[in-house]
Amino acid sequence: MAQNTIYVLGLETSCDETAAAIVEMQLREGRVDGTGRVLSNQILSQIETHAPYGGVVPELAARAHLSHLDRLIAMAFKEADCTPDDMDAIAATAGPGLIGGLLIGLTTGKALALAAQKPFIGVNHLEGHALSARLTEQVEFPYLLLLVSGGHCQLLSVNGLDDYSLLGQTLDDAVGEAYDKAAKMMSLDYPGGPEIERRARHGDRRAYDLPRPLVSDKNPSCDFSFSGLKTALRQAAEKAAPLDDTKVANLAASFEAAVGDCLVAQTGHAMRRFRQVNGRPGDTLSLVVAGGVAANLYLRERLKKAAEVENFTLFVPPPALCTDNAAMIARAGAERFAAGLVKTRPMATIARARWPLDK
């Protein structure tokens, strides 16, 4: 392995994706320099396992991680043409997430690190998403982050590694959760996000007058709320019953337009607040959108236009790095390893169901 280059194995088992990845990062003056290379990114989706239940069943997810993680790790090493001895560190998601799955990834990562005598790094899953754009783009600190996934909806100022400031968050449902529940109301397949996006392309986004909770110019907020929107969609669907393909497309399009308006409005408030602290009026600043919902092309285009209005450059990871994956965990682990942010007793790292990024 080359000098001034570090190699990290990452493991991700926080929810319903079992994943193992190996990344290569360059070092300059003791820090990770720019983008890296993903040498392997193995992901096993459990969608078919959980689809009959309309959501993730924690016990089934944990069993799948236990059954497949070792095989995915072996596949990752084979694809990257390296061994555990070649790694500089082993990283695994320590939270937030489902405890059963987290324990499997943590235990496996610790065992590998112990056997190969390598440092072990427990990574915050949210930090993995927060740094994911830095795998493929030259995104410098500080930047504004919109984290939108099945379990999270937050606006954060990413000031540096291990330095995050919360600007706003959902007061109830996360965006991805709202999409899944909305899809269920319209009898669409799980997961709901991709299905609603597909149906919405053929619908009228003005067909149903749905609310935009917390969106206000008089009282600008960076917080989100989707429970009222979800209730309004249910009422509209019940009134429109029986639903045919046209009605479903119009409901999906109207719902997606309302979500887009909420994200654009609150992110706009956050961009202006972020500029007050981190830039002058003429500066071009950075907005990163990460998490599974960032793969939605309609929402991505809406946010790109909103960023241009505020003189921000939008960065979005490739779709494979938006959803849960181990490459982002390895990348976050590499940054922490290079910065010396490794716990004194890493084997004592515990699984955490909740683990906010901001202090």
b/e map 321-355, b = 16+ CB within 10 Å: bbbbbbbbbbbbbbbbbbeeeeeeebeebebbeeb
Tell me how far apart the alpha carbons of residues 120 and 9 are, in angstroms, rounded to a whole number.
10
Q: What is the mean pLDDT of residues 336-343?
A: 89
User: pLDDT grade, residue 216 (50/70/90)?
Assistant: confident
CA Rg, the chain, in Å? 21
Residue 267 has a pLDDT of: 98
Residue 328 has a pLDDT of: 97
Question: Start-end ranges of CATH 3.30.420.40 in the chain?
Answer: 5-134+321-348, 137-316
Q: Which one is predicted more confidently, 63 or 217?
A: 63
Q: What is the largest CA-CA distance in the chain?
A: 66
E strand or H helix at 89: strand 89-95
Round the average pLDDT of the chain to a whole number and report it.
Answer: 94
List, in order, residues 6 or more apart from 352 with CB less than 8 Å away. 94, 95, 96, 102
State the Cα torsion 252-253-258-259 to the nearest 10°: 70
Q: What is the mean pLDDT of residues 332-348?
A: 90
Q: Is residue 260 over pLDDT 60? A: yes
For the 5-134+321-348 domain, the top CATH level (class) is alpha beta
User: pLDDT grade, residue 31 (50/70/90)?
Assistant: confident
Residue 281 has a pLDDT of: 81
HSE of 11, CA atoms in CB hemisphere, 13 A:
33
**In this structure, what token pair is assigned to residue 190?**
């799980």
Instruction: Say if strands 285-290 and 143-148 run parallel, antiparallel, or are unpaired.
Output: parallel
Q: Is residue 87 over pLDDT 60? A: yes
Residue 3 has a pLDDT of: 62
User: pLDDT grade, residue 36 (50/70/90)?
Assistant: confident
Q: What is the mean pLDDT of residues 184-194?
A: 93
Q: Range with the lowest mean pLDDT among 41-45, 76-80, 216-220, 310-314?
A: 216-220
Tell me how far apart the alpha carbons of residues 218 and 216 are, in angstroms, rounded to a whole number.
5
Span 246-257, pLDDT tens digits: 999 999 999 999
Q: Which CATH number fits domain 137-316: 3.30.420.40, 2.40.270.10, 1.10.3720.10, 1.10.10.10?
A: 3.30.420.40
Report helix angle 175-185 to 227-240, nearest 10: 10
Residue 217 has a pLDDT of: 76
Residue 180 has a pLDDT of: 94
Span 301-318, pLDDT tens digits: 999 999 999 999 999 999
Residue 1 has a pLDDT of: 54
Span 104-156, pLDDT tens digits: 999 999 999 999 999 999 999 999 999 999 998 989 999 999 999 999 999 99
